[in-house]
Structures are given as structure tokens and as C-alpha cells.
Chain A
Amino acid sequence: MIAELLALVPVQRAGFGLLLGAIALPPVGVLIVGLDIYPVRFAIMHVALLGSAIGLLTGTDPLLWALALCALAGGGLAPFATTSAGLSGAMGLLMSLAIAVALLVLSISGVNANGAFELLWGSILSTRPVDLVVLAVLAVAIPALFWWRRRDLSLLLHDRELAACSGVRTGPLTMVLLVVIAVSIAGAVKLTGALLVDALTLLPALAARRIGRGLTGMVVASIGIGLVVAVAGLLLALALDQPPGPVLVLLAGVIALLAQLPPMRRT
């Protein structure tokens, strides 16, 4: 039965999208853990929703609006990294503002709000070619960024002041990272839906934290875990005839949980 399902184009697209996401998104989770900005997921989802609303209002592609607005929001957050309230406070504010404006836009345009919320309920099986292009770009750009700037990133994620003392341009680098995080979350929301975005971002990163050594080890481990979650999760969902999103999250959650267990005693 699985073989028949795998012959269907939407399923193939879903599988391909998941593989690309499993390469692009876990390193983003590593960034979220490293910068200690867990609220960024919610803030960016609300901004994506605003983008989606504008897309509906103007009759243009909601995903592209979401990506553009999220990139802008990510860049705009960067200056808060050095303030005492930090990034998380600014993100809470951004989240409330974005949802408020989104609701106003929807109300003014008279569009049915469900259309905008569809973005948040995004489903893997509704992956379109344009979504695949976005994910493919991310799957190349993000690992490349990590490899190219691995020294600067390990220092910055460990300690901002140490990085500044080591010649790292912390301001511009933080801005690039926040834009990457924001765009990736917007892309991931389309893939898995908002409520399940952690399956390929945060959960693999949390699991990898206990496995990988140093930043490079952690990123490699997180991608490995992401790929396992993506492949096993999709096959399991097809076999059980259940929606892939929740199955992926459960699988990722179990792996993250197992990684937190203390190592087994050998004596």
C-alpha cells in the first residue's frame, strides 16, 4: 500500500519537501537554542499570518508576502540583541502587534479569515513546487552559512562578548541569523503547519545538544536526526493512514526525550 501511495505526485512532493526541510531546519533550531530565543517561533508565525493576510488582500502569493515580512521582522529585531530586555521581550511585542495588524487587515479587506489561517494549518501533502524551491534554497544556504562562518558562530552562540573580543562583527552576524531564522520558520510553517513547526527545528536541535560536540558536531547531529524523523515519520504516517504532521512531532519528541535520558551504566 505504501508503494502505491509513494507513486502519487503529492506524496512524492511531500517526501522531497520533508527531506529538504530536514536539512535546512534543524540548524535553525540550533540557532534558536544558541541565541536562547524560543519565543521567536510564535512571533514569526504571527508575522507570517500578517503576510498571508496581505497576500489575500492584494491577490498575490501569501507565502511570498510571509517570507518577505518575516525577513524584515527578523532584521528589525537584531538591534534588540544588546539591550537588557534582550530579544525575547521585543519578540513578544512583535507577536502582539503583528496579529493585531493582521486581524485589522482581514477585517478591512473583508476577506474570510480562514484563508489566512490556512497558512498556519499548512499540510505537508499540500506542498507546491514554489514551496519546494524555497526549501531547496534554504537547504543549500543554511548549511553553507554554518560551514563558512563556523568559527564566528560558535563564539557568538557561546558568548556575545567573547565573540566581540575575537573580531567577530556581532551586530551584522546577529542580523543575518535572525533573518535566516525568520525566513526558515515562515517556510517551515508552510511545510508542517504552525503548530508542528518544532518537529523539524527545535526538537532535533534539543536532541543534538546532548550528542554533538561543539557547534559543527551539533549541527551535523541535528540534521541527521531531522532526516531520520522526516523519513521514518512520513512512512509511518502513510502506513498508519494518519496526517504526517503529528506523527513527525511525536517521533521527534520521542527522540529528543531519549537523548535527555542519562547514559546507561555499563557495569
Chain B
Amino acid sequence: MNDLWHVTALSLLLEGVHCRYGRHPAVHSVDLDVPAGTRVALIGTNGSGKSTLLRAVLGFQPVSGGVIEVGGRRAGTSAQWRRRRGEVAWIPQLRSTGRFPLLLGELLDSSGDGAAARGAAARLGLARLESRGVHTLSGGQAQRAWLARAVGAVAAGAGMLLADEPTAALDFAGQEEAAAVLTELPVTLVVATHDRAVADACDRVVEMAAGSLREVA
């Protein structure tokens, strides 16, 4: 399927990145250089700052210091952030969002390539659920839906995927399928995970501990 896509994987560069919540520092002086096309597993204990770091790349978490570049470009203006969010596909950590009804089909179409996302959804066992509200899906089904959406976003041209514990709610078969889908994508991948299988499928493993990053393997 890769050769059908005209995707250019993008590099990620973090230099001295700091994030804080109020006075509480959550990410402390993080450096990370990920060449285009590399797959990186981001591990670390609960509360070590993985989600904060990934959200900072997308501009959902303000950065109090340091530099973040995707494909060699920084983001500052709202137009630049919109470009960044088009270039970087995102699977958020499972949370209870969506007070408001959104249909699964609408979630898949929002990726920018509804056909690819729907194809991936069918492969992940969501074929007949497209007219269901996202809030009626089980935790694992919702996670599969976001994975399928990420496939659509990559098909639509995203060159990087940031995935925040994308297999945490999946059953055993689902974890394998998801790891396969994730690693087949022709993009740069940074995946926060507690899942051995996902970490093993990556080229590099880095560990967050109390807001700081270190190389593991």
C-alpha cells in the first residue's frame, strides 16, 4: 500500500524544550533529533511528561522554552500551526471527550482522506459502525477509530505520526494489528507506549523520567 502514497516523511527536532503547568515543570530541557522516516518509541512512567511533550509538537501545550522543528520548520503564526497540524497526524491518549455527538464516519472523514481512513477502519473491524456516534464506541473501538483516522491523515499527506499510547485499550489481537498498521505507515513515527510489542517494532527507544529524556536503545 505504501507505493500508492506520495508521502514525504518529515524530520523532528527538539532542542531544550521546556513545558510547565503553572509553576510545575512537566518537561525539562528535552533534546531529541529524529531523522525523517525513523520510528521512535517514547516510554516512561505515568506522569513523566510523554503526553505533554507530544502535545507541545502540535501546539496544544504551550512551550516555555526551546525549539521544535518539523521538517526543518518552526511554527509560530496560526497559519504555520495549521500547516504543522496538517503535516503531523495525531492519535491522542484515550480520554473522554465528545460531549457532543460526532459520527464515526465524520471522524474518519476529518482525516482529509475519508476513503483511506474508512478502508483502515474496515481492516480494524469497524466496518459497520460508521453511522454510530463516537461516544457510543467502546474504549478499544474508539482507539481503533483514531488509528484508522491517522491512516487517512497520512494518506492525505501527513509525513509524521505522533501516537499517544495508541494500543493501551486494545485486546491482544488488536495490539498486534495496531502495531502492524503503525509500523507500515511510510512516515516518521513517535509513539508513547507501555507496550513491548510496539517498542520492539521501533528503531529507537527513548525514556522520559520526571520530565527529562534519555536514550535507552
Within 8 A of A (CB), among B92-137: 92, 97-103, 106-107, 109-112, 131, 133-134
A33 on the interface (CB 8 Å rule)? Answer: yes
Q: A155 touching B102 by the CB < 8 A rule?
A: yes
A198-254 contacts to B (CB < 8 Å): 209, 212-215, 218
Q: What residues of chain B lie closer than 8 Å to A162, measured between beta carbons?
A: 97, 102, 107, 110
B85 touches A165 (CB 8 A): yes
CA of A167 to CA of B89, assembled, Å: 12
Let me know if B100 and A213 touch, CB within 8 A: no
Q: Decide yes or no: A167 and B106 within 8 Å by CB, A34-B100, A157-B100 being known contacts.
A: no
Q: How far is the CA of A161 from the CA of B97 in the complex (A)?
A: 10
Are A213 and B101 within 8 A (Cβ)? Answer: yes
Nearest Cβ on chain A to B75's Cβ, whole angstroms: 12
Chosen A-B contacts, 26 in total, with CB atoms closer than 8 Å, are: A33-B99, A36-B99, A155-B102, A157-B100, A158-B99, A158-B102, A159-B102, A161-B58, A161-B60, A161-B92, A162-B97, A162-B102, A164-B60, A164-B81, A165-B58, A165-B85, A165-B90, A165-B153, A166-B110, A166-B112, A209-B101, A213-B101, A213-B103, A214-B133, A215-B100, A215-B101
Tell me which residues across on chain B come within 8 A of A157, comparing CB atoms.
100
Chain A residues with CB under 8 Å of B107's CB are: 162
Interface of A is mostly: helix
Nearest first, the 9 closest Cβ-Cβ pairs linking A and B are A158-B102, A166-B110, A157-B100, A159-B97, A34-B100, A158-B98, A214-B103, A158-B100, A165-B85
Cβ of A79 within 8 Å of any chain B Cβ, yes or no, is: no
Minimum C-beta distance from B144 to chain A (A): 16
B86 at the interface (CB under 8 A from A): yes
| Distance of A158 Cα from B102 Cα, bound (Å) | 6
- Chain B residues positioned under 8 Å from A159 (CB to CB): 97-98, 102
**Per-position 1/0 for A143-186, Cβ under 8 A of B:** 00000000100110111011011110101000000000000000
Which B residues are closer than 8 A to A by beta carbons?
58-60, 78, 81-82, 85-86, 90, 92, 97-103, 106-107, 109-112, 131, 133-134, 153
Q: Specify which chain A residues have a CB less than 8 angstroms from the CB of B92 in the assembled complex.
A: 161
Residues of A within 8 A of B102 (CB): 154-155, 158-159, 162, 214-215
**Residues on B with beta carbons closer than 8 Å to the beta carbon of A167:** 82, 85-86, 112
> Interface size of A by Cβ–Cβ distance < 8 Å?
23
Residues of B with C-beta under 8 A to A209 = 101
Nearest Cβ in chain B — how far from A206, in angstroms? 12
Are B78 and A34 touching (Cβ within 8 A)?
Answer: no
Chain A residues positioned under 8 Å from B86 (CB to CB): 167
B59 proximity list for chain A (CB < 8 A): 164
Nearest to B89 among chain A residues (CB) is: A165
Chain A residue nearest in CB terms to B88? A165
Q: Which of B59, B103, B109 has the most CB of A within 10 A?
A: B103
Distance in angstroms between the alpha carbons of A165 and B156 in the assembled complex: 12
* Chain B residue contacts of A214, Cβ below 8 A: 101-103, 106, 133
**Is the CB–CB distance between A164 and B97 below 8 Å?**
no
| Docked CA distance A166–B58 (Å) | 12
A82 closest partner in B (C-beta): B60
CB pair B133 A213 closer than 8 Å: yes
